[in-house]
Amino acid sequence: MRPFNDSVIYFAVVDRFRNGNEANDDGYNPASHDASRSDWSKYWGGDLDGVLEKLDYIKELGCSSVWLTPLFDQIDGLVDVEGRGMAAYHGYWAKDFKRLDEHLVGKPEDVRVFASDDTVFDRLVKSMHGKGMRMVLDIVCNHSSPAQRPDMGGCPGKGEIYDDGKLLTSYEDDRLGWYHRDGGVRDWSNAAQVENGELCGLADFNESRIGYRTYIKDSMRLWLDKGVDAFRVDTVKHMPLWFWQEFVSDMLFHRPDLFIFGEWFQGGCYDYPSVQFANRSGMGMLDFALQRGLEECLARGAGAGFALVNDVFAKDQCFDDCRHLVTFLDNHDMPRFMSSGASPARVDMGLALILTCRGTPCVYYGTEQYLHNDTNGGTDPYNRPMMASWDTSTPAFLTVKKLAAVRRENRAVQSGSHRQKYLSPDVYAYTRVYRGSCCLAVFNRGADTAVNLETIELPDGIYKDVLSDRAATVKDGRINGLRLGRDTSFVLSYCAPVREKAALEISFMLNGFATAFGQRVKVTGNCPELGNWDLEKAFLLEYINANMWLGHLPLRESAGKTIAYKFVVERDNDGVLYEDRPAHFRRMPEEGLVELHHRWS
């Protein structure tokens, strides 16, 4: 799986983003649409034409990837939620994974997305790829739909599933055995109930049935063939690990460079099962732990302040590859950052932090416009307002734009180690370092202050803050008397000279070696680029954290050939420790990026 960490993802709830075609607003059931946009449980008109119209806005923001809520055909009726009729405007109640929902298309025949190569979806993907942007599709494998209200245009049952319009099964008449029948989850500490029970009355798929697995995997491969570049996977904690390992393997076999990340709700470094999922499933994960730390520190003003954020980064070694974490301030399942108490300046600071730290940052639609609605504390559905402004001059918009450019250019931000340089409840500074490149990020949530910073990995010189016109001097690895105003961020970036690009680049990553000071991890092998087994000429990896060494190497002479290699550790005054196994062998392609991920033997 190829990381997305050179990218910034923009996440849009399609129905609440932009109405590009009013003709599709009613769909097949006019009762599901509210033109006044006062009923937060119904469709408001956003569609794929609206996304297409605003691609240039998203690109100017600096976001090169767009995550869209599920586009699959949804149930047409309404679901009874506390006496109200709720429509499937959010996209998570699918009935046909091989069709587009009619609320999203330009013309009725576009719903049969795989019967044509000229649907609005095709035009959207073509336009995105032409602009150098990538499509992230939100997918659901855990469930289909809940029961609908028969008085509001729906069938009385639940869980009807179609194959491009052909009825396959339903929860009420499940001759194929595609659904669990265990009722709702009663004990959230019971893994079997969480995996097999129903979530909020949603018909829960029985993944043990090969017919179901074949259907869902075939469907997702079709979307990949349509040009989808990445999957965000909903409710991953509600299905067993073996299913995800099989699913990810089949998807990567079909598309080796596919990026996949899952939603393990409230998962992160403090939740052991979610860490195991991230390390063993083959996909990345949304980083709820960092989100909670940022919310407590910047939105709720917790006394511990930035220690809550630094503690999360200190646990990066729990993950085999922390680059696959997707970072965010808020999303469609929680109150927006401002509804949790953040001022606009604290939103700017939160954005600056996720844009300069490890992982792949994700911006929820409208955050760059300070979009929020605080009704009922801003909880669902009030965290999903209609996009109301497209101002390209807000401080938040400019923060994302400037730091997205740094992220694209600076490999230290994309892949480097995280090194704390200053920590107090109100002030936090760290560097990101990789192969001579460095980014320094400093944040102050408190009163005006001045700090001295030491052991900064930037070369000596004068640097300009990416976010302002201020300058700072680095001398002998120090910055003295750096003044920081209240609720401000300060970022310096240095990119080491870029080596000549090669058609083939290989990325070595090693986990599981408990490193100590004075040790160096190298890769030696039978090709010129790895020193032909000469340790003096072996390829030196970069220390990322206690569980991760990383290095990117251009292969010119060995492209298209089979190489053999081993990992070795050089220890100051204590000889060399070889990996205890025969050499690894791998046939190299002629071009592209190859990631070789290993655990110390």
Task: Please report which helix (H) or strand (E) contains residue 48, including its range.
Answer: helix 48-53
List the catalytic residues. 234, 263
10 Å CB burial of residue 554 (0-12, 13-18, 19+) is middle
3-class state of residue 342 by DSSP: coil
- Cα 589 to Cα 505: distance, rounded to the nearest angstrom: 10
Our CA dihedral for 32, 124, 13, 213, rounded to 10 degrees, sits at: 80
- Cα 224 to Cα 253: distance, rounded to the nearest angstrom: 12
For tokens 């299905």, name the residue.
239
Render 239-286 in DSSP notation, one character per residue. S-HHHHHHHHHHHHHH-TT-EEEE--TT-STT-HHHHHHHHHSSSEEE
- Asked if 576 and 597 touch (Cβ cutoff 8 Å), the reply is no
- Which among 351, 255, 245, 358 is positioned nearest to 4, based on CA atoms? 358
- The backbone torsions φ and ψ at residue 373, rounded to the nearest 5 degrees and listed phi first, read -135, 120
3-class state of residue 429 by DSSP: strand
- Cα 180 to Cα 183: distance, rounded to the nearest angstrom: 8
In this structure, how many other beta carbons lie within 10 angstroms of the beta carbon of residue 306? Answer: 27
Enumerate long-range contacts of 386-391, CB under 8 Å, 24 or more apart: 386/16, 386/37, 386/44, 386/46, 387/12, 387/16, 387/17, 387/18, 387/46, 390/54, 390/57
- Which among 327, 340, 336 is positioned nearest to 296, based on CA atoms? 340
88's CB contacts (< 8 A; 6+ apart) are 32, 74, 75, 79, 101, 145
3-state secondary structure 147-194: CCCHHHCCCCCCCCEEECCEEEECCCCCCCCCECCCCECCCCCCHHHH
Pairing status of strand 79-81 against strand 9-12:
unpaired
Our CA dihedral for 585, 589, 594, 598, rounded to 10 degrees, sits at: -10
- Cα 478 to Cα 560: distance, rounded to the nearest angstrom: 46
- Cα 463 to Cα 570: distance, rounded to the nearest angstrom: 35
- Cα 64 to Cα 8: distance, rounded to the nearest angstrom: 6
First-to-last C-alpha distance (Å) of the chain: 22
- Which among 251, 147, 163 is positioned nearest to 212, based on CA atoms? 163
Helix (DSSP H) and strand (DSSP E) numbers for the chain: 12, 31
